Amino acid sequence: MKSRRSSEKTPRRKRGEGRNDCDPLAPERFLAPSDREFSAMLEELVRKLGRKETLQMLSISALYFDRYREGRKPSPGIKRLVWLIWVILLHPDRLKSKWDLLTWGFYHKYPVEWKQAPEDWSI
């Protein structure tokens, strides 16, 4: 195994370029709940479960929890977690298939009819 010389550096990644990159037009980007909807879901969880139980389910610190309730912009991961807990516990009818999970529950709300692909009209 060759050792890496100090002059040989690994190229740095550009900002926004990483292992979690995905298609910017993916459904989870434009169907995700807004920050206002996120706050409403968080408040509904607190109202139904209580602050302590909500904190335990989310596994986040009370400091971050309070910041989210005060209007801090949530990361995509915490937004997905809050939505998933909210939908499983309070609105299980919205989660019927894996497509509902991918589209934040919009798949059954606005069903799409899948049609046959058009023929290939080659020139």
| Per-residue pLDDT in tens (0 to 9) along the chain, 123 residues | 555 555 666 666 565 555 555 555 565 667 778 888 899 999 999 999 999 999 999 998 999 999 988 888 888 889 889 999 999 999 888 888 787 777 777 666 655 554 454 555 555
Give the per-residue pLDDT at 21.
Answer: 53
Pick the closest to residue 33 from 73, 66, 88, 67 (CA basis): 73
Q: Give domain limits for the chain.
A: 30-109
pLDDT (0 to 100) of residue 11: 65
Q: What are the φ/ψ torsions at residue 71 (nearest 5 degrees)?
A: 115, 10
This prediction's pTM: 0.65
> Residue 91 contacts by C-beta under 8 Å, 6 or more apart in sequence?
105
**Contact call for residues 106 and 60 (beta carbons, < 8 A):** no
SS3 42: helix
